[in-house]
Structure formats: structure tokens, C-alpha cells
Amino acid sequence: MDTIILPLDGTAAAESALLALTALTREPARLRLLYVGDDAEGEHLRYLESRAERLRAQGHETEAEVVAGDPASVIVETATALDASLVIMKRDDRKGIAGWVLGSITDKVARELPTALLLFNPPAENERWSEDGVGHVMVPLDGSATSEAAIPIALSLAERLGARVSVMYSVPWLEPRYAGPPELLAVGSVSEETDARIEADMHSYLEGLVERHAASLQLGRIAMRGPAADAVSTAAESHEVDLIVMTTQGASGIVHRGLGSVAEGVTKRSGVPVMLVRPLE
């Protein structure tokens, strides 16, 4: 039975992560509801217990816990101690859980968490998760074996949920860059032939992945042009993706340190939940 950690703070924003739980679990799970902070009056524990009762009624083995301390450290330590398979956190551009500073908490959890982290931030008008669950999972890639480590995880998840999986690869539009006056030296100037070859290589790479995993599941292919974060967000919207699964490191630094530039951009631009997974060492 999978163990899932859900940090809650009493706000509707944090509780929206329960939508993700419903969408991701087709069977009962072992849950730990977590509040980080002081609770001298027991108010926060009572709040967690009220939510736990609802989840127990749905068949989940649920416990509630209030722990004082640094929020990110407590989340990571709890997940590690329980050998959790997933932590679900609500992503918010202004505030994090319990008003915590988003960047420092989410970044630290992403950097130190030994297991998968789901950042849940669907727009209010998106009812797909509550009504239809997860039907389409997308794995953004950068051509590295590290980024491809997310594919088996996405396939396993899709098998449990009856979802389809698409692999997505993007190549930016390349522009000439000059190291000196144009008449002296042009570095990185791109001809139509060069650009066509780059695009052909992108499609060839995706086709190779589809063939490699054909025995497991017929993968969809999504090829995009443009900056990585923009391309991922656009692909997720245009292809009706319900969940993005990506590794925390890659050749182009999908996640450099903590969230990093690309994943940070994706979670800010896209309403699609993002699951960050740490590749095996």
C-alpha cells in the first residue's frame, strides 16, 4: 500500500490537493495528513482529524499529525521516516502552505525530498481532475537519460489509472549570435538546412523512444519549438494533459537546484499539476 503525505493548513487552497489524491488513487492508500506549526490548543489536530475521517470513509488508512519545526524539514523528514511514495503540495504563486514563503519551502522540499513531489495548481475552472481524473500524462524530455528516467514512472502511473502517456521534446528557435562585428565572426548562426536537421533529429529522438517502450504502452509524441518552459506549458494546454511528470535533473537542467528554471517556469505558467521525481543515483 502506497504512503502519501498531504501537508494541510486549513485553507481551501491547500485542501485542493485532495483532488489530486482522488484522481491518483484507484485503490486505498496509507495517508498522513500533516500540519507544521504550534498547536497548544489542539485546534489544528482537530482540523486534521475531521479531514482524516472523511478519507477513512473512502477506504484510506489515514493518520493525522501536528509537528512543530521548519516546514520544509518536517515534510522531508516525515516522508523519509514513513518511506512515502509521494508528497502532494498545493502550489501557489503568492503563498505556500500556511502562508510559508513559496520559493524557499517548495524549493527546499524539491531539493531534499527522496521521493516524488506533486505540485498541484489547477485553475479554479478546471474540473477535469475532480470529474475525469487523470487521462493524459506527459513527460517532458531534454534528450538525456536522466530526464528519460521519468518515463517508467509515468508508465506505471498510467497503467494504474488507465491513462495514456505522451513524451514531449522541445527545441528552441535558434538565432544567430555574434562574437564580433558581422563581417568578422558569427558564432551560432543557423541556416535553414541546419534548423531543418535539428527539427528532424527531434522527431527521430521521439520516434526512437516510442519504439523502445512499445512493449509497455504506445506512447504519444509531442514535438515543440520554443523556450523549454513555454513549450511544456503550451503542449500541456493544447494536448489536454492532466499531469506532467518530470525528473529533478537533466542535461539542460530541467531542475538545476531545487525547482530550477524550467520546472519553476512550468509550475508558474501552467495550471497542470507537475510531479517531480528524483532519478536513481
Give the Cα-Cα-Cα angle 140, 146, 117 (nearest 5 degrees). 65
How many Cβ atoms sit within 10 Å of the Cβ of residue 193? Answer: 8
Asked if 120 and 91 touch (Cβ cutoff 8 Å), the reply is yes
CATH number belonging to the domain at 128-269, selected among 3.40.50.720, 3.40.50.620, 3.30.70.660, 3.40.470.10: 3.40.50.620
Q: Which of 170, 228, 176 is nearest to 199 (CA)?
A: 170
Amino acid at 155: L
CATH number belonging to the domain at 3-120, selected among 3.30.2270.10, 3.40.50.620, 3.40.50.720, 3.40.50.12140: 3.40.50.620
Element at 5 (helix H, strand E): strand 3-7
pLDDT per residue of the chain (281 residues) written in tens, 0 to 9: 689 999 988 877 778 778 778 778 878 899 999 999 998 889 999 999 999 999 999 999 999 999 999 988 999 999 999 999 999 987 654 444 444 444 567 777 887 888 899 887 655 555 566 566 789 999 999 888 888 889 999 998 898 888 999 999 988 876 655 445 544 444 455 567 777 888 899 999 999 999 998 887 789 999 998 888 889 989 998 999 999 998 876 554 444 444 456 767 777 777 788 898 876 55
CA atoms of 251 and 146, how far apart (whole Å): 7
Domain with CATH 3.40.50.620 in the chain: 3-120, 128-269
What predicted TM-score, i.e. pTM, was given to this entire model?
A: 0.81
CA atoms of 44 and 41, how far apart (whole Å): 8
Residue 242 — φ and ψ, nearest 5°?
-100, -20
Amino acid at 230: D
Q: Which of 83, 61, 95, 76 is nearest to 7 (CA)?
A: 76
